[in-house]
Structures are given as structure tokens and as C-alpha cells.
Amino acid sequence: MANVNIKINGREIAAEAGSTILQAARKAGIQIPTLCYLKDVNEIGACRICVVEVKGARSLVAACVYPVNEGMEVFTNTPKVVESRRTTLKLLLSNHKRECLSCVRSGSCELQKLCHDYGIEDENAFSGIKNHYAVDASAAHMYRDNEKCILCRRCSAVCAVNQGVGVIGANARGFDTHIGCTFERPLADAGCISCGQCIVACPTGALSERDDTQKVVDAINDPTKHVIVQTAPSVRVGLGEEFGLPIGTIVTGKMVAALRALGFDKVFDTNFSADLTIMEEATEFIGRYTGHGVLPMITSCSPGWIKFCETYYPDFIPNLSTCKSPQGMFGAVAKTYYAEKMGIDPKDIFVVSCMPCTAKKFEAQRLDHTAVKGLADIDAVLTVRELGRMIKKAGILFNELEDDTFDAPFGLGSGAGTIFGATGGVMEAALRTAYETLTGEELKDLEFNDVRGTAAIKEATYTIAGNVIRVAVCSGTANAKQLLEDIRAGKRQYDFIEIMACPGGCVNGGGQPIVPANVRNFTDVRAIRAASLYEDDRNLPVRKSHENPDIKAIYEEYFGQPNSHRAHEVLHTGYTVRQKY
């Protein structure tokens, strides 16, 4: 694309035609502050924090939506601009619940940072009436506190644009405007899929996950409980960010050491149960494909996607794999196989999951098909952010820890399990096992590059042992909506589909560390974290689920074979048609 010549703060700059002042300034090494802007999601110029002066313009303009043009002269930091931003911040504070010392977002709040940067000392510059709202804590996974909301609309935009759900938006008008559901329904009754993308989009503490840290601490301190913890693949490439490490840093060893220091009796790896999922899911797919079962079969690892399907596309429920997610499978084997092996009453085993996903909190409350009647498979779910807070509160110096290793018998996971955290990873892991199962031959090239990457929808066709298998990979439920509508209309035909609720997969889950907009707008966080998972896969000694010796052992000792009667009783589940509202 052609460039145009502009000046920013007196410097001559060649900017890409069609770009905005915000984008041009960033490429020139100048950061213009924003609050409402999210690239490709919320570009509405509403917050007025990004205003700049443009020579010849009658008033200040919003840099996030104002296009550059030939000969333009821009000034980003004049006294007029600074005073405008300061006034806007003071106005926001005038209707804001100012409890920064106790707020979960203290230190990662974009409003707090801007107030610090712009030296806002008088929080009461504009005194007067303040709006008061009850906190909506109805959902299993999160709460909304509108007294901390700044009406940036990032949450409602990501819900509608990325997820295609749109259950939250601006209600009322003028000073009474607030974010809520239709007819002021509680979030739990509004068709929310629990993905948490609104939380990671929010610049303040208005939205946050339901905190289960004290529940976990209480269990650890209970001498009658045997407390075990599992960590999902994406946690190892996200947790380091909570301690100032670069995005995507692999911290597996330090993570295990920190969990052990917190007092967990055993520290296990969800990669193990991801491998277990592949054994069950790949076998289920081969059975459907060769036995004329319901196709396309769609993966069931993402609870946000499952809830989306149950709520908005219940006609596709027969297409869902009956396999529990890796989290669910881990809890199930912990309270059956592990309980028997260790001689512990299942009711005395407290299973904690560390997940990049808020929908896992909802999934943990699904008691319709648990392995032990009357007991939840999972007792508590911690997001990466909650785990980070627990480690800090305990005074553990994370970055100074010596690496530690997972415990047996659920401590060994394959590279196939690791890549579950990236969109396309479940499909690739399943294909590695399906290929060798169908052909009886060793798969030399383990990389299925056609299903990798962060594209919205990826398609590929593979011929395995004479069988033509058409696959698709999709992330973000707005993209899933498009895919399913095309399948309904007969425009697309597949045999096997992977769908993840969050764009980019679990690496971009709603429970991952908060990344400020000024970073996520210009950095592909999803790709960086995913690249680290693929690096981890390459470096692991076992890279196929069916070659994991711990997986072989659990089938020899307990399940017999994949999709056996016992495996179905413990590792598989069913689904429920849900009301949209």
C-alpha cells in the first residue's frame, strides 16, 4: 500500500495510506494513550483519551479513528491535548468507585495508570451525584461491578464481534447509561457462554473472574483433604507474565515449584489428561468415520464452545464428541483410578485446576455426568491470574525458584498434549494418533502445518490409509457461527472439526494474564504464546499421545482400551439444550 507524508510533533514520517493517526504514531515510536480502542474490535473514538491536535482542524480529533492524509501535521502532546486528557480522566473518576488499594486490577488497571501518568491528584475535581449499582455475581465464572465501569464498551464489542454472542451492551441513556443485559437480566440468565473475553478486554476492575483462591487455601489447610492440582498447557506460557517475564516465556519448572511451595500434596500436568482425551477422541472419530456415525464430529475440549453450542446451535449436539475436556478427564481419573491406587476415599480428594479459561469454572459445576455419583470431578478452578495472586500473597519469589518436576502418575504429558493450548493443536494431536492407528506405520513428520496459525477458519484434507479426511479448525465463537451456518446450508463439508471458544485458543483464554490495550493492539499475543507451546512440543521426549507410557499404564491397569465401557462411564459425558435467555 502507498504511503503518505505527514509530520508528527515536527518529525517527518511516511505513514501507510488508510492508517489512523494512532497507528502512524505507534510505528514512529510515539504512543498515544487510549481507553476504549481495541484493534478490529472497538474502534469508536468514544473515550476521548487519544485526542490530538491536527493543524487546520477546528477541534481536537480522536487519533484512533482519524485517518492520515498527505501533508497532515499532528501534535500529540501539546498543553491543550494534555489538559483535555486530564479533564477527561477527572470526569471518569467523578463517577468511579475509587477503591484502588483493594481492587483486583490495581497495578494492571489502564485508568489507574493513566491517572498516574497524567498526575491526577484531585480525585474529587468534579463532585456531584454518583451512580450506584448492585454487583452482578450471578454467573459461575465472573462478576460485573458497574461502579468501576468507564463505559468504554470494549466488553460489549468483544462479546458481539469476537464471540458473536452480544449478551451485554449499553442500557439507558445519558448519565444513567450502564452496561447490562437485555431487560436487566442477570448475566447467568442471558445466554453468556462464560468465555471471559470481556474480562481480558476490560481496562478497569469492572469485570473480573469469581475468585476461588480462599476456597483452595482452606482446602490446603484442611488436614482431612488430599489436595491435588493440575495445570493446563497454556498456563506454562502465561504465568510468567504475572511476574514481569516476557510474553510467552515457558515457566513449567518454576510453576511446579511454586505450586509445591503453596502446599499442594501433588502437582500434576493436564497434558496427561489431554493425551487421554486424544486416545478417547481419536478412537471415537475413527469409529464414527468407519462406522457411519454422526459426522462431522466436533471436539469438546472448550467449555465455552460447548455452552455456545448447547445454547445457540443445539441441533449440532449430536455432532459433539462425547469426551469430557482434559480438565474433566483429569478430575474423573483422580477420583476413580487415582483414589483406588492411593487408597484414598474420593470424597477426601480435593481437585484444583489451574486454567487459562473462565469457562472451566462453569464446567466444574456441571454435575450431570460425574465419575463418582454425588461428587464433582473438579472442586475448584483457578485462572492464571488467581494463581499469580496466590503465589504473590504467599511471598514466593517466583523468578528465583529452582525448576521442579511434576509428580507421578499424572506428571508425564506428550508434546501432543502441550499443543492443545493453541488453536489447531487438538486437531494436530488427534491426527498424529489417528494416522498411526489407521496405518500401523510410524508418522515421521509430526507437524500438520495446515491447521496451525491464528486464522479464523482453517481447512485441510488428509489421505490416511486410503481414507480421505476433511478437517476444519476454528477459534472464536463468532467464527464458529459462520462455520456452522455454512455447514447447515451445505456450503462446507467436513469429517472432523476443532472449535475453540476464544480467538487463538486457550493461549488467549479469558483467564490469562491481562495484557493492556497499548500492547495487544500492536502485538500478536496469541501467536507468541502459541509459538512457545510448539517449541515445548519440539523439545519433549514424547510427542504422540499414544506413546505416553503413563497413558499406556492407565489403559492396561484400569480402562482396558479406549472407548471401553469403563472409559465411557468415567471419561465421557452428555450435553444439555440451554435457553438463550
Domains in the chain, please, with CATH?
A: 3-77 (3.10.20.740), 92-209 (3.30.70.20), 214-571 (3.40.50.1780)
Whats the size of the chain, residue-wise?
Answer: 581
Q: Pull the grid cell for residue 366.
A: 456441571
pLDDT computed for residue 1 by the predictor: 66
What's the DSSP call for residue 188? G
CA atoms in the 13 A half-sphere facing the CB of 223:
0
Compute the average pLDDT of residues 278-301: 95
Q: What is the mean pLDDT of the chain?
A: 96
CA atoms 17, 20, 23, 28: torsion sign: positive
548: nearest Cα among 328, 323, 275: 275
Question: Is residue 581 predicted with pLDDT exceeding 80?
Answer: no
Surface-to-core class of residue 466, CB atoms within 10 Å of its CB (0-12 exposed, 13-18 middle, 19+ buried)? exposed
Element of type H or E holding 331: helix 326-333
> Phi first, then psi: what are they for 23, rounded to 5°?
-70, -40
> Phi first, then psi: what are they for 321, rounded to 5°?
-60, 140
What residues have CB less than 8 Å from 353, skipping those under 6 apart?
229, 230, 232, 270, 327, 330, 331, 360, 364, 378, 380, 381, 382
pLDDT computed for residue 439 by the predictor: 93
453: nearest Cα among 536, 527, 519: 527
Query: CA-CA distance, 289 to 467, in Å (whole number)?
Result: 9
557: nearest Cα among 340, 274, 343, 412: 340
Residue 269 CB coordination number (10 Å): 27
pLDDT computed for residue 419 by the predictor: 97
Query: CA-CA distance, 353 to 569, in Å (whole number)?
Result: 22
Compute the average pLDDT of residues 8-22: 95
Q: Are strands 496-500 and 297-298 parallel, antiparallel or unpaired?
A: parallel
- Ramachandran quadrant class, 449 (left: phi over 0; alpha: psi -120 to 50; beta: rest): alpha
Least confident of 119-123, 464-468, 499-503, 548-552: 119-123
Question: Is residue 83 predicted with pLDDT exceeding 80?
Answer: yes
* SS3 letters across 514-566: CCCHHHHCCCCHHHHHHHHHHHHHHHCCCCCHHHCHHHHHHHHHHHCCCCCHH
Distances (CA, A) of 266 to 231, 256, 259, 330: 11, 10, 9, 13
Q: What per-residue string of b and e applies to 533-557 under the rule 16 or more CB within 10 Å gives b? A: bbebbeebebbbbbbbebbeebbee
Question: Is residue 476 predicted with pLDDT exceeding 70?
Answer: yes
Question: Is residue 292 predicted with pLDDT exceeding 90?
Answer: no
Query: CA-CA distance, 266 to 258, in Å (whole number)?
Result: 12
| Complete edge-to-edge strand list for the sheet that includes strand 380-383 | 266-269, 226-231, 349-355, 380-383
Query: CA-CA distance, 379 to 381, in Å (whole number)?
Result: 7
pLDDT computed for residue 494 by the predictor: 98
DSSP 369-391: T-SSTTS-S-SEEEEHHHHHHHH
Contact assessment for residue 325 and residue 303, using Cβ atoms and an 8 Å cutoff: yes
Q: Pull the grid cell for residue 351.
A: 481437585
Query: CA-CA distance, 451 to 461, in Å (whole number)?
Result: 10
pLDDT computed for residue 384 by the predictor: 98
Compute the average pLDDT of residues 95-102: 93
What's the DSSP call for residue 59? S
Per-residue model confidence as pLDDT tens digits over 431-452: 999 999 999 999 999 999 999 9
3-state secondary structure at position 55: coil
Query: CA-CA distance, 566 to 552, in Å (whole number)?
Result: 16
Instruction: Categorize the per-residue pLDDT at 123 as very low, low, confident or very high, splitting at 50, 70 and 90.
Output: confident
Q: Pull the grid cell for residue 338.
A: 487415582
Beta-strand ranges (E) seen in 291-369 are: 297-298, 349-355
Q: What is the pTM of this model?
A: 0.96
Contact assessment for residue 216 and residue 382, using Cβ atoms and an 8 Å cutoff: yes
Compute the average pLDDT of residues 311-321: 98
Query: CA-CA distance, 45 to 419, in Å (whole number)?
Result: 38
